Amino acid sequence: MPEICPAYVALGSNLNDPRRQVERAMVALDALPESALRRCSRLYFTPPMGPGDQPDYVNAVACLDTHLSPFELLDALQAIEQQQGRVRGGERWGPRTLDLDLLLHGDCRMDSPRLTLPHPGMHERDFVLYPLAEIAPGLTIPGLGALDTLVARCPARGLKPVDRADE
């Protein structure tokens, strides 16, 4: 069996009860084979990154300890998305029931047609960096550096914890 590896997953939804979609996805992550959900950030409301004529997102980041390879984990994440009604092929950065992005898989660095690790663009996204820093303070991201430094360079653009935001 492969060595256990920490993996970080970004969760997001802005359709069909987004808060519930993200919460259901966390339960599904905890049920993955050869994996255990270790930590989850709080939920955040965030403005859409893509077209502005869509609802705000609910975002979070989760940490798993897993024996799954990066591609096995990617397949499992895409299966969860599909089970929760995700339809691929729509507008880029458009509305979706669920988006699960594999951000990091240990210290793995790869660039393949199916998967790039660390996730490209994560260092520019407040809705990834702030929740990630909440559950992994002191983390160093391969090829990008200290998470704390990345957070300091990325202003929060409307990120609001769900428990403090007007729902």
Number of domains in the chain: 1
Q: Is 114 a catalytic residue?
A: no
Taking CA atoms, 97 is separated from 22, 51, 55, 69, 138, in Å, by 9, 16, 11, 25, 31
Please say if 101 is a catalytic residue. Answer: yes
* Bridge partner residues of 9 (DSSP): 62, 102
Give the whole-angstrom CA distance, residue 98 versus residue 113: 21
Grade residue 97 by pLDDT with cuts at 50, 70 and 90.
Answer: confident
Better pLDDT: 152 or 86:
152
Separation of alpha carbons 72 and 70, rounded Å: 6
Helix, strand counts (H, E) of the chain? 4, 10
Tell me the pLDDT band of 53, cut-offs 50, 70 and 90.
Answer: confident
pTM for this one? 0.92
Instruction: Print the domain residue range for 100.
Output: 5-164
Catalytic residue from among 19, 24, 42, 86: 86
pLDDT for the residue numbered 157: 86
Q: 61 - beta bridge partners? A: 10
Residue of 17, 38, 39, 101 with catalytic role: 101
pLDDT for position 78: 94
Strands 44-46 and 99-105: unpaired
Q: Are 106 and 74 in contact (CB under 8 A)?
A: no
Q: Quick one: pLDDT at residue 92?
A: 60
pLDDT band at 93 (very low <50, low <70, confident <90, very high): low
Residues 120-164: pLDDT tens digits?
A: 999 999 999 999 999 999 999 999 999 999 999 999 888 999 975
Active site residue 65: no
Give the domain CATH number at 109: 3.30.70.560
Q: Catalytic pick from 38, 92, 99, 166?
A: 99
* C-alpha dihedral sign at 139, 116, 125, 58: negative
Among 20, 39, 75, 96, the one annotated catalytic: 96
pLDDT digit string, tens, across residues 5-44: 999 999 999 999 999 999 999 999 999 999 999 999 999 9
Q: Is 109 a catalytic residue?
A: no
The whole-number pLDDT of residue 113 equals 94
